[in-house]
Amino acid sequence: MTIDNSTESIHTVEGGGKKRGAAAWISSVFENKYIGLVALAIALLMPFLIATPYAINIMTTAAIFVVLAAGLNIVVGYCGLLDLGYIAFLAVGAYTAGIIAKAFELPVLFTLPAVVIMCILAGLIIGAPTLRLRSDYLAIVTLGFGEITRITANNLTITGGPSGIYNIPGFLSIGGIDFQNPIIFYYLTVLIVAGLVLAAARLGKSRLGRAWKFVKEDEDAAEAMGIHTYKVKLLAYIFGAVWGGFGGMLFASHLTAISPMSFVFLQSALVLMAVVLGGMGNMKGVVLGALAISLLPELLRDFAAYRYLLFGLLLVVVMVFRPQGLWPPRGAEAERTKAQREAAAFANGLKK
Amino acid sequence: MAQFISDIPQVFWDGLFVGSFYALIALGYSMVYGIIKLLNFAHGDIYMVGAFIGYTILTAIGGTFHMLGLFALIIVMMISMLITGVIGVVVEKLAYQPLRGAPRLAVLITAVGASFALEYGVAAIASPNPRGFPVRLDGDFVLVLGARVTIPQIILMLIAGALMIALDTYIRRTSTGRAMRAISLDMKGSLLMGVKVNAVISRTFFIGSALAGAAGVMAGAYYGKIDFLMGFIIGLKAFTAAVIGGIGNIRGAMLGGLVLGLVESFGSELVGGQWRDAFAFAVLILFLTLRPTGILGERVTERV
Amino acid sequence: MSAVLEVKDLEISFGGVKAVDGLSFSANAKEIIAVIGPNGAGKTSAFNCITGFYKPTGGSVKLNGADVTGQRPADIAHAGVSRTFQNLRLFHDMTVLDNVRAGMHLYGGQNFFDAIFHTPRFKHSEAHYTEEAHYWLDFVGYRGRRGVPIRNLSYGQQKQVEISRALARKSDLLLLDEPAAGLNHSEKQSLLELVRRIRDLGTAVVLIEHDMGLVMEVSERIVVMNFGREIADGTPAEVKANPAVIEAYLGRDDDADDQDQEVAAHGDA
């Protein structure tokens, strides 16, 4: 067969005028390949700018919030499943880490396998019966599960009831370096979070990640291509749960105390806002959204009474005017180069 | 066990009473869902707003209330219904109408945003602390088959029942009701047949929100305490009630409310009151997974 | 050797209305079969039964001899079926290449561990996905941009991408639901040639089509349906001469839009 080179190369030329000035500059900065590394570098340099215990505390909390947003982005952003009880997975991770670490006097890090297993189980328990439901039912069921998790934590003795668990052992301590030192713990958190964000982003750009997006866009078409939509959705749920569990583990060892009050619906809603405002499915946007949601209230203390009102209104406004989020995934990739095209044409010629 | 058996009438009555509140709120959920397939998260918050409006009016008129008694409460309730109805319509116009036909995810997120805005709007205006309702309905009780039934309970249930009967008649007998049913079957078709779809949807929101507002005032007067998050759990439960009855089905919502009230009442008697909410949500999850069409939901699912 | 597709006494009814009522036909490798019939004859419903989007209320569907009746669509796709939809069902926010990659989902080549750590296996597998996607786009003669979202494409280009996606599945059986609808004369001619080239790959092709000229020219056998029933099955010449077919089509406009029920999304309407 023949390939018309001319048409393809004409099409490759940017249609319409190039974006100019500030907009182009901003978009080139944000779409830059190394933006993630730059963000990581900034995060690592922050303690050199402000190292007050208060600031470090806020930044650590923000980093943990980022990992939650990254996890929820897998579920909502990639797979299109609205989870309104996502904070339940943070609770499962935090309580698993807290209970085991305290009972066996282990550093929290050693609870990791248990945390991952418990979160996979939680994802299965919540996901398996509900993922066949239509999307709005799913949303409300996850909300119900979130509440059930909190109420359970509130009522059981093993979880310490309403007062929760306190005096959770440190994250790790080897050779005199105590990771409970706030600055060391901040660095540790940033590195773990960066790793998890990168991993989630990479998942999004793999076969599984594409399957998630196919399911999000058109379940029937995905099924017709042989994608077992139920299994794929369950996997999104489980990955989301595990990310939440990591967040929970960091959360427990950061605060050394957890109680059911930390796992209310408000928290689920805030993580969702980070994902939605940032741009569902775009990991960079979601990280930015998470940082905005967790850090802005610190900067806008004067508006404390109105901030959640503003968040709510913002959510409505963004959905009405820009339903894909403020910074949606670009949905573009590199075209074939001329050389590749010719090589393909040659190979096809041989096949014939 | 003997204790439990002797408690049955009381547990039954309590369940029925709470259930009638659920039913009143579930109606709004179910009507809106039935017509535009929208899960209106903000609906529970309309109930909360109703309670706060009632609170504001009652505080404003102050002492005069006691002279007028129950009659005044009903007037206040009607004013609150009017205002919450309008708020419901405004929320629909601003948040939901622009998104008609948009992906479900976007609409759901909008609903969460609207709910959030209402909750924290009230918190910002009225302060986040719980408020004591200026009127507290308590009174003598009569023993009915061993259950303590208070007079206010009976009055409130009568009001709730009257509202529901009025709604049922409205939907069955009037042209608006017919238009609502038509839109729920086929929105495009109704539009082509000259049904003023947007107007009917607005009216649906008005009625549903007004009912929730009424429930809010009644709950405030009965429980005596209101706060800006009071609509969250009850909204979730009203949704559960709507699902139990068969979402989109008006009589189903009423039935579902009563069933949920009873199930919850007996359930918490058996497993302990602290599990009450968890028990209700477990019922929701069971229903959605095993029988998503609900008890009376056959009619809405015949579409293939 | 058994036929690739064997449909026997297929039935489906919606609330008492039999949309498909006793359809039987088979398709062999390297064969082009057309299913035709007036509006609402049940053609698309039959496709949806074969591909698992509807659960048939009677009869059986066999693929390469194995019974797949009533299985879920993904499993039937796995068993070797691929399809296009009457109203294009592409992933609109994703790139052209990603859409074609969807067809290759079942060819695996990587797991989540590979994806997270970007192992050589992952890189190799992704390169393979891309290469194959380009190959099938070339195969259908798609000439537009490939790194842009589907929604930027013209209707004709979208049709090409949908066929590429179905081909990337490399299935034994390809079902095309009105592939020529909305195409102009020259596009129809390329389609004709494309369908033949697909057949030459060894695939069994079954298509629903309204364009009689195209159907008569391209298909080896034609199945005619009316009111859910099969009224004829034979070569184009036989079908043309069949009195029942003539009656069903008498006075009908062949190009009328098909009002068949679109896939009502299994479970989620």
Instruction: Return the closest-CA partner of residue C259 out of C67, C37, C65, C62.
Output: C37
Domain locations along chain B: 2-301
- Give the CA angle between residues B116, B121, B123 to the nearest 5°: 100
Give the per-residue pLDDT at A115. Answer: 97
**What's the average model confidence in pLDDT over C3-30?**
91
**pLDDT digits over A229-272, tens only?**
999 999 999 999 999 999 999 999 999 999 999 999 999 999 99
Separation between Cα atoms, residue A325 and residue A309, nearest integer Å: 19
Contacts of A311 (CB under 8 A, 6+ apart): A270, A273, A293, B113, B116, B120
- Answer yes or no: is pLDDT of B172 > 90: no
CB-CB neighbors (< 8 A) of B277 in chain A:
147, 151
Which tokens sit at A16? 């319409």
- Answer yes or no: is pLDDT of B106 > 50: yes
Interchain contact C106–A (C-beta under 8 A): yes
Separation between Cα atoms, residue A36 and residue A190, nearest integer Å: 12
Which tokens sit at A45? 């340099």
Give the per-residue pLDDT at C264. Answer: 38
Average predicted confidence (pLDDT) for chain A = 87
Range scoring the smallest mean pLDDT among A248-262, B60-74, B121-135, C13-27: B60-74
Question: Does A323 sit within 8 Å of B123, measured CB to CB?
Answer: no
Which tokens sit at B183? 């839109």
Question: According to the per-residue pLDDT averaged within each range, which of A207-211, B182-186, C86-90 is highest?
Answer: A207-211
Report the number of distinct structural domains present in chain A: 1
User: In chain C, which residues touch B (CB < 8 A)?
Assistant: 14-15, 264, 269
Locus of tokens 């709910």:
B115
Q: Sorting pLDDT into bands at 50, 70 and 90, what band is C179? A: very high
Give the per-residue pLDDT at C40. Answer: 82
Entry field: residues in chain B:
304
Give the per-residue pLDDT at A6. Answer: 40
> pLDDT higher for B46 or B106?
B46
Give the per-residue pLDDT at A13. Answer: 37
- Answer yes or no: is pLDDT of C146 > 90: yes
- Answer yes or no: is pLDDT of A206 > 70: yes
Distance from CA of C148 to the nearest CA of B (A): 21
- Answer yes or no: is pLDDT of B234 > 60: yes
**What's the average model confidence in pLDDT over A145-164?**
92
Question: Does A269 sit within 8 Å of B116, measured CB to CB?
Answer: yes
DSSP string, B180-247: HHHHHH-HHHHHHTT--HHHHHHHHHHHHHHHHHHHHHHHHHHH-EE-TTHHHHHHHHHHHHHHHH-T
Give the per-residue pLDDT at B224. Answer: 85
Give the per-residue pLDDT at B65. Answer: 55
Give the per-residue pLDDT at B207. Answer: 94
- Answer yes or no: is pLDDT of A138 > 90: no
Give the per-residue pLDDT at C194. Answer: 95
Q: Sorting pLDDT into bands at 50, 70 and 90, what band is A8? A: very low
Classify strands C17-27 and C5-14 as parallel, antiparallel or unpaired. antiparallel
CB-CB neighbors (< 8 A) of C269 in chain B:
303
Give the per-residue pLDDT at C212. Answer: 83
Mapped onto helix, strand or coil, the DSSP state of residue C257 is coil
Give the per-residue pLDDT at C250. Answer: 63
Contact B261, B195 (CB under 8 A): no
Determine the longest span between alpha carbons in chain B, in angstroms. Answer: 63
Give the per-residue pLDDT at B63. Answer: 58
Domain locations along chain C: 1-80+171-269, 92-170
Q: Which residue of C has its CA nearest to B292?
A: C267
CB-CB neighbors (< 8 A) of B288 in chain A:
130, 133, 137, 141
Give the per-residue pLDDT at A351. Answer: 58
Distances, alpha carbon B37 to alpha carbons A136, A317, B296, C155, C198, in Å: 9, 21, 17, 30, 43
- The ipTM (two decimal places) reads 0.89
- Answer yes or no: is pLDDT of C253 > 70: no
- Answer yes or no: is pLDDT of C248 > 60: yes
**pLDDT digits over A289-310, tens only?**
999 989 888 877 777 778 888 8
Separation between Cα atoms, residue C52 and residue C71, nearest integer Å: 6
Q: Which residue of A has its CA nearest to C83?
A: A224
Q: Sorting pLDDT into bands at 50, 70 and 90, what band is C257? A: very low
CB-CB neighbors (< 8 A) of C264 in chain B:
303-304
Give the per-residue pLDDT at C267. Answer: 37
Q: Which CATH architecture has domain B2-301?
A: Orthogonal Bundle (1.10)
Contact B208, B202 (CB under 8 A): no
Question: Does B303 sit within 8 Å of C269, measured CB to CB?
Answer: yes
Distance from CA of A216 to the nearest CA of C (A): 9
Distance from CA of C27 to the nearest CA of A (A): 19
First to last CA, chain C: 40
Specify the amino acid at residue C170: K
Separation between Cα atoms, residue C190 and residue C106, nearest integer Å: 29
Q: Which residue of A has its CA nearest to C97?
A: A333
In a domain, A12, yes or no: no
**pLDDT digits over A160-184, tens only?**
999 999 988 888 877 667 777 889 9
Distance from CA of B18 to the nearest CA of A (A): 19
Average predicted confidence (pLDDT) for chain B = 86
Q: Which residue of B has its CA nearest to A80?
A: B105
C1-80+171-269 placed in CATH 3.30.565.10:
no
Q: Sorting pLDDT into bands at 50, 70 and 90, what band is B2? A: low
Contact A280, A328 (CB under 8 A): yes
Which tokens sit at C211? 């364009």
Read off the CATH number of the domain in which A174 is found: 1.10.3470
**What's the average model confidence in pLDDT over B111-130?**
90
Neighbours of B92 (CB within 10 A): 24
Alpha helices in chain B (DSSP H): 2-36, 43-61, 64-68, 70-91, 104-126, 151-173, 175-185, 187-192, 197-223, 230-245, 250-271, 276-290
**What's the average model confidence in pLDDT over A110-137?**
91
Classify strands C221-226 and C229-234 as parallel, antiparallel or unpaired. antiparallel
Interchain contact B5–C (C-beta under 8 A): no
Separation between Cα atoms, residue A172 and residue A184, nearest integer Å: 11
- Give the CA angle between residues B293, B296, B301 to the nearest 5°: 45
Provide the residue range defining the domain that includes A326.
Answer: 43-330
Separation between Cα atoms, residue B27 and residue B50, nearest integer Å: 15
Distance from CA of C264 to the nearest CA of B (A): 7
Question: Does B304 sit within 8 Å of C264, measured CB to CB?
Answer: yes
Q: Sorting pLDDT into bands at 50, 70 and 90, what band is C91? A: very high
Give the per-residue pLDDT at B49. Answer: 96
Question: Does B118 sit within 8 Å of A269, measured CB to CB?
Answer: no
> pLDDT higher for B44 or A21?
B44
